[in-house]
Chain A
Amino acid sequence: MEKKYILKIKNITKSFGGLKALDNISFNVNKKQIKALVGPNGAGKTTLFNIITRLYQPDRGSIEYDQKNLLSYMPHQLIRLGIARTFQNIQLIDALTVKENIALGLHAKIKSNPLSVVFGLNRKEEKEVFEKTERVAHFLKIESFLNKHPEQVPFGIKRLVEIGRALISQPKLLLLDEPAAGLNENETERLLNTLFRIWERGISILLIEHDMEFVANCSHSIVVMDSGKKIAEGLPSDVMNDYNVIKAYMGE
């Protein structure tokens, strides 16, 4: 039977030294769903992202993705599985242009080997890579920045370039780490619009967000975390009213 979910997180626990960063976290991300992970700083959201993307190893628990045991994969293999991510602290490469930064997302899918590179047999493929880059840039409406370096583009565009680098590999699941952080009102508006257009293409999205209002506007389902624990999960309207969430946010 076809499963409803694309990602199933079960009983994930992770400690750093004596500090429990994640305590028995479980939830699913359904296919074609925008799921949001909210909570105050230090709630363990990014730690969970780093575990999903295999940068950290959990102490306990399992993650099932597309009927596979995700924990048996290495970080660099995830692109080929169809998982791509962005980072809270923007991770663009200054030595590369925006175009090359976006093309980097396709790296794992490039077939040319070292020998074909030395003999120049990779030209056709490189051309295709950069054609794809342009299509992604067109989709995100950032074509005019393609030949600039990251330090030469506005902050909001940098966030879109990161999303572009994740999108170019045509992922099934997109992980966005605080995509709206530091954006102004116009940029946030534009981001929301972009998210919906990505979702329309059938891509599932799991996003971390700080801004409750942004989350309420864009997600189908919300998981609330505090101090490494899941304290609520449900529809945005339900969760917004949940007492625990308000308490966590007010810091009482």
Chain B
Amino acid sequence: MRQSTATYILIFVFLTAGIFIKNPFILNMVSLSALTVITVLGLNLLLGYAGQVSLGHAGFVAMGAYISSILSIKTGLNPWLSIAIASAITTVVAAFIGYPTLKLKGHYLAMATLAIGEIIYMLANNLITLTGGHQGLTGIPMLSIGNFTFDSEKKFYFFSWAVVLLFAFVSNRIINSHYGRALKAIHEKEAAAKSFGVNVHLYKVAIFSLSAFYAAISGGLYAFYIGFISPSSFSLLKSIDYIVMAFVGGIDSIFGSIITTVILGSLPNILTSLQDFWPIVNGGLLVVAAMFMTRGLGGLIKWKRNTF
């Protein structure tokens, strides 16, 4: 089977499951996982296709969440428009960070994004008049289309997985185009790729900005779904969670990432008593994946390739 087909089937399974799940706790948990999937899909593009690590994706999620919420609360702007503006700003900021750092060796981007993530985290904590500080921001309106408001777990469940479908579709289209081929060339043979006519630096900056865009959209939707945001949802540990999900799921595997994200996103909510062990589990997963299966779970499956 082609990986893209398997991915769409998987998403449709989640969508149909929504019809039968009654328990709001589970619906909520899997909806939140869906939002996380969007961020992880973006991170996948960066890891798997530009070969770079971002330690600050929680910061981009935070930018999406905070900017859109503040716009919507303080100026009364339409939530959808707020999310669009917040995501655009986040994308530009990412391009700004990526431009100098992506000319350098791999760990520069990791460190620069770590710094950005921390800066955004500290701003969220300290710009109290705008962000509410560590107590957070409340009164974020709900999303609605016309008279239809996403006011129940069930409604948002379908909506969130529909968004996953949209972003998985976009990722698939890019990966399976000439851009995907060029990105794979950059990942494997960067210097030679230039001589194939690939503008390596431009593509790296573009893919990094795109991945920040995914994260910002995810953050914006999160804010308007929960109605409340506080800095603790966007800490460095979240950025590392995203890396674990993307890397263990398979850096170039959308299918593997979705499964891993839903599992790793849900487990801490189910096994709450094991909370203190979670950093060790996450770290252990990263170590095992980095040492023994760099293609991740998705790499264990032999996919049929796209042919023309």
Chains A and B share a contact (CB less than 8 Å): yes
> Could you tell me if A97 and B305 are in contact, using CB atoms closer than 8 angstroms?
yes
Among the stretches B88-96, B125-133, B180-188, B232-240, the one at the interface with A is B180-188
- Between A77, A79, A93, the greatest number of chain B beta carbons within 10 A of the residue's beta carbon is seen for A93
Q: Nearest Cβ in chain B — how far from A93, in angstroms?
A: 5
> Could you tell me if A95 and B192 are in contact, using CB atoms closer than 8 angstroms?
no
Chain B residues near A106 (CB-CB < 8 A): 178
> Could you tell me if A118 and B173 are in contact, using CB atoms closer than 8 angstroms?
yes
Q: How far is the CA of A56 from the CA of B220 in the complex (A)?
A: 44
Interface size class of chain B, counting residues whose CB lies under 8 Å from the partner chain: 20 to 34
B292 at the interface (CB under 8 A from A): no
> How many interface residues does A have (CB within 8 Å)?
42
**Of A75, A122, A130, the contact of B195 (CB 8 Å cutoff):** A75
B287 at the interface (CB under 8 A from A): no
Q: How far is the CA of A100 from the CA of B194 in the complex (A)?
A: 16
Chain B residues near A91 (CB-CB < 8 A): 189, 192
**Given A107-B178, A120-B173: A75 and B194 interface contact (C-beta under 8 Å):** yes
- List B158-206 residues whose CB lies under 8 Å from chain A: 170, 173-174, 177-179, 181-182, 184-185, 187-189, 191-192, 194-200
A197 at the interface (CB under 8 A from B): no
**Of B184, B195, B307, the contact of A95 (CB 8 Å cutoff):** B184
> Could you tell me if B181 and A76 are in contact, using CB atoms closer than 8 angstroms?
no
**Of A79, A104, A118, the contact of B174 (CB 8 Å cutoff):** A118
> Could you tell me if B173 and A108 are in contact, using CB atoms closer than 8 angstroms?
no
Q: How far is the CA of A105 from the CA of B185 in the complex (A)?
A: 11
**Of A55, A87, A103, the contact of B181 (CB 8 Å cutoff):** A103
**Given A78-B197, A120-B173: A130 and B308 interface contact (C-beta under 8 Å):** yes
- List B134-149 residues whose CB lies under 8 Å from chain A: none
- Between B173, B177, B307, the greatest number of chain A beta carbons within 10 A of the residue's beta carbon is seen for B177
> Could you tell me if B199 and A55 are in contact, using CB atoms closer than 8 angstroms?
no
**Given A75-B194, A85-B195: A117 and B174 interface contact (C-beta under 8 Å):** yes
**Given A93-B188, A95-B188, A118-B170: A79 and B197 interface contact (C-beta under 8 Å):** yes
**Given A103-B181, A117-B177, A147-B307: A93 and B189 interface contact (C-beta under 8 Å):** yes
Q: How far is the CA of A118 from the CA of B168 in the complex (A)?
A: 11
Q: How far is the CA of A76 from the CA of B194 in the complex (A)?
A: 5
A14 at the interface (CB under 8 A from B): no
**Of B173, B177, B189, B196, the contact of A79 (CB 8 Å cutoff):** B196
- Between A76, A100, A103, the greatest number of chain B beta carbons within 10 A of the residue's beta carbon is seen for A76
> Could you tell me if A104 and B195 are in contact, using CB atoms closer than 8 angstroms?
no
Chain B residues near A53 (CB-CB < 8 A): 195
**Of B179, B196, B307, the contact of A105 (CB 8 Å cutoff):** B196
> Could you tell me if A78 and B195 are in contact, using CB atoms closer than 8 angstroms?
yes
A80 at the interface (CB under 8 A from B): yes
Chain A residues near B184 (CB-CB < 8 A): 93, 95-96
Q: How far is the CA of A130 from the CA of B178 in the complex (A)?
A: 11
Q: Nearest Cβ in chain A — how far from B125, in angstroms?
A: 36
**Given A76-B194, A91-B192, A103-B181: A117 and B173 interface contact (C-beta under 8 Å):** yes
| B172 nearest CB neighbor, chain A only | A118
Chain A residues near B194 (CB-CB < 8 A): 54-55, 74-76
Q: Nearest Cβ in chain A — how far from B205, in angstroms?
A: 13
Q: How far is the CA of A109 from the CA of B197 in the complex (A)?
A: 8
Q: Nearest Cβ in chain A — how far from B237, in angstroms?
A: 32
**Of A87, A100, A108, the contact of B197 (CB 8 Å cutoff):** A108
- Map CB proximity to B onto A77-91 as digits: 1 under 8 Å, 0 otherwise: 111100011010001
Q: Nearest Cβ in chain B — how far from A214, in angstroms?
A: 23
Q: How far is the CA of A117 from the CA of B178 in the complex (A)?
A: 9
> Could you tell me if B188 and A110 are in contact, using CB atoms closer than 8 angstroms?
no
Which A residues form the contact surface with B (CB < 8 A)? 53-55, 74-80, 84-85, 87, 91, 93-97, 99-100, 103-110, 112, 114, 117-118, 120, 122, 126-127, 129-130, 147, 165, 169
Cβ contacts A to B, 25 pairs, < 8 Å? A55-B195, A76-B195, A76-B200, A77-B197, A79-B195, A84-B195, A91-B189, A91-B192, A93-B185, A96-B185, A103-B181, A104-B196, A104-B198, A105-B196, A105-B197, A107-B181, A107-B197, A108-B196, A108-B197, A114-B179, A117-B177, A117-B178, A122-B178, A126-B177, A126-B308
